């Protein structure tokens, strides 16, 4: 993937490049909003990683300008500001996701890949498919290898998210944010229990377990 990192802290940018390149992504950096805007206009990127507070032009203004110019490249905001209001500001400016500093590399990676995936999917889908697992979003039915699986509404939502990001790692924080819409850190890993329930429903009785735990990151739905 081609990623543009717009970040004024060179050390932080370097750490991101190291981590993201390790996973096969190509990274370019820009030191402030103006440079970022220029770089974004020059090359096609899959995802832009934009710091909020930068000299000359801050991230919010940069993304606003970008969106006004009709550029819809997914944007992941990075910020030390983690209040709900700040998050809303970032999303209103045209950001697609918001990650509060400091963050774990696994979290950044998972979110960047999720954003890129969302773009690939493009048009609205009514049926999701991962391996022999099938989800009908309109009839709200799930089937694996032709066998109906009965899911609670929240389990359905959880599986939908995992299926939309099939083959990708998703973190617990992402699940809590996107499936439950909570932005705090529950002390016990409540998510794990929900995952294990879902796992018992979709993997039980099948040879190949699909819902896998990714050490140090979260979970992945494998085809």
Long-range contacts of 164-167 (CB under 8 A, 24+ apart): 164/117, 164/118, 164/121, 164/128, 165/113, 165/114, 165/117, 165/221, 166/128, 166/130, 166/131, 166/221, 166/222, 166/223, 167/130, 167/220, 167/221, 167/222, 167/223
Q: Which is nearer to another protein, 9 or 34 (CB)?
A: 9
Residues 137, 73 contacting (CB under 8 angstroms): no
Q: Report residue 188 as tokens.
A: 């016990």
- Per rule CB under 8 A, is residue 80 in the interface with another protein? no
Site size for another protein, by CB under 8 A? Answer: 19
| Among residues 25, 144, 164, 194, the one that binds another protein under rule CB under 8 A | 194
For the CB of residue 43, give the shortest distance to another protein in the complex, in Å. 33
- Per rule CB under 8 A, is residue 138 in the interface with another protein? no
Q: Which is nearer to another protein, 39 or 170 (CB)?
A: 170
| Among residues 38, 140, 154, 204, the one that binds another protein under rule CB under 8 A | 154
Q: How far apart are CA 92 and CA 94, in angstroms?
A: 5
- Per rule CB under 8 A, is residue 106 in the interface with another protein? no
- Per rule CB under 8 A, is residue 84 in the interface with another protein? yes
Interface map 170-189 toward another protein (x if CB under 8 A):
----------x-xxxxxxx-
- Per rule CB under 8 A, is residue 82 in the interface with another protein? yes
Q: How far apart are CA 104 and CA 97, in angstroms?
A: 15
**Residues, the chain:** 223
Q: Which is nearer to another protein, 120 or 185 (CB)?
A: 185
Segment interacting with another protein, rule: CB under 8 A, options 36-44, 79-87, 123-131, 159-167? 79-87
């Amino acid at each position: 993937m081609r990623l543009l990192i717009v970040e004024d802290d060179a050390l932080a940018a370097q750490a991101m490049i190291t981590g993201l390149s390790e996973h096969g992504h190509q990274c370019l950096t820009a030191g402030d909003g103006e440079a970022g805007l220029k770089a974004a206009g020059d090359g096609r990127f899959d995802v832009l990683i934009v710091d909020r507070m930068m000299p000359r032009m801050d991230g919010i203004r940069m993304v606003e300008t970008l969106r006004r110019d009709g550029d819809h490249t997914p944007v992941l905001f990075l910020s030390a500001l983690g209040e709900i209001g700040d998050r809303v500001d970032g999303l209103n400016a045209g950001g697609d996701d918001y990650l509060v500093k400091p963050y774990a590399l696994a979290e950044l990676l998972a979110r960047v890949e999720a954003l890129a995936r969302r773009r690939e999917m493009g048009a609205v889908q009514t049926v999701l498919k991962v391996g022999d697992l099938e989800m009908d979003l309109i009839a709200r039915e799930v089937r694996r290898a032709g066998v109906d699986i009965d899911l609670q509404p929240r389990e359905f939502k959880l599986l939908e998210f995992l299926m939309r990001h099939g083959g990708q790692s998703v973190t617990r924080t992402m699940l809590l944010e996107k499936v439950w819409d909570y932005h705090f850190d529950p002390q016990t890993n409540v998510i794990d229990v929900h995952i294990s329930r879902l796992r018992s429903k979709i993997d039980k009785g099948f040879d190949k377990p699909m819902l896998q735990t990714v050490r140090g990151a979260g979970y992945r739905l494998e085809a």
